[in-house]
Each structure stands twice: as structure tokens, then as C-alpha cells.
């Protein structure tokens, strides 16, 4: 059973994380300030599932015209390319370029360094427990 105090502390912590640790903030801190970072994150999250502009819009929670502008900027920047969908020639899928993958890798490296710094002084067991609990918590939010 959860206690109201614990739930309130989790809520406050999550709000603080959301305010401080946006994707754009991480990209800027990593020296990769780019308004299309969220497009790269959406493509990466899709994994091997083909994704187009509408999929990016859904992943980012924005309307299609906004997603279209972000995708166009990512294409212009050379971070994403458009490919014809082999199953449906009317559709266009988005694919990360090598430059897009390099930017994602740089942002991931920066994020991980920041998280490691935040856990400085934690034992390996504390880090593992935190990772397990946080992962379980995030998974439960999906339901």
C-alpha cells in the first residue's frame, strides 16, 4: 500500500525532473542544441517499426503540421532521411542518417554522465535498486 506522503514526494520529484531534464535541455547541455532532437528520440524509440510524420506527431503529442515542420528541419539538417514505404508506396518512412545517429549517441553519452554524477556516492546495490524501481514505476505509468 502506498502512503499519501510517499506519493506526494514522488509527484514533486517527477515534476522537478520534468522541468529540469527536458530532451531539449539535455541536447543543449550536450552541445547539441537542436529543435529536432525530439524527432530523433521518437525515431529511436520506434526501433524497427517504420514511422512517418504522423507517427512522430503521435509520439511527441503535437499536431501533424508541427511534426511536419520538425521533420523537415531534421531532413534539412541531414539528421533524418525520407524513404518510400516498401509495403505501401503512398507512405514515406523516416530513417536516421549517420549524422542523426551520432547526435543521438552524443546526447545519450551526456545524459548518462549526468545521471552517473547524480548517483556519485551511491553503492552499486543502491544504483541497481534505483534502476529496477524506476523502470518498474515508469512501466506502471503506461497502464
Note down pLDDT in tens along the chain; length 143 residues.
Answer: 667 788 888 888 888 877 776 655 655 555 555 668 889 999 999 988 889 999 999 988 889 999 999 999 999 999 999 999 888 878 899 999 999 999 999 988 988 998 999 999 999 999 999 999 999 998 898 87
> Phi/psi of residue 63, each to 5°?
-75, 165
As a whole number of angstroms, the distance between CA 70 and CA 13 comes to 30
What domains can you pick out in the chain, each with its CATH number?
Answer: 4-141 (1.10.10.10)
Q: Any idea of the CA torsion for 76, 29, 97, 51, to the nearest 10 degrees?
A: -90
The reply to whether the predicted model has a pTM over 0.85 is no
Q: Give residues with Cβ within 8 angstroms of 82, minimum separation 6.
A: 75, 92, 93, 94, 95
Amino acid at each position: 500500500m502506498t502512503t499519501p506522503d510517499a506519493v506526494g514526494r514522488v509527484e514533486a520529484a517527477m515534476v522537478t525532473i520534468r522541468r529540469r531534464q527536458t530532451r531539449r535541455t539535455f541536447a543543449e547541455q550536450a552541445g547539441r542544441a537542436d529543435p529536432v532532437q525530439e524527432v530523433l528520440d521518437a525515431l529511436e524509440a520506434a526501433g524497427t517499426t517504420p514511422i512517418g510524420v504522423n507517427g512522430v506527431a503521435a509520439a511527441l503529442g503535437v499536431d501533424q503540421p508541427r511534426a511536419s515542420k520538425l521533420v523537415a528541419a531534421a531532413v534539412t539538417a541531414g539528421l533524418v532521411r525520407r524513404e518510400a514505404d516498401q509495403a505501401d508506396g503512398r507512405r514515406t518512412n523516416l530513417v536516421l542518417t549517420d549524422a542523426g545517429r551520432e547526435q543521438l549517441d552524443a546526447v545519450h553519452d551526456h545524459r548518462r554522465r549526468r545521471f552517473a554524477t547524480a548517483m556519485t556516492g551511491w553503492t552499486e546495490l543502491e544504483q541497481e535498486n534505483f534502476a529496477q524501481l524506476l523502470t518498474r514505476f515508469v512501466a506502471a505509468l503506461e497502464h
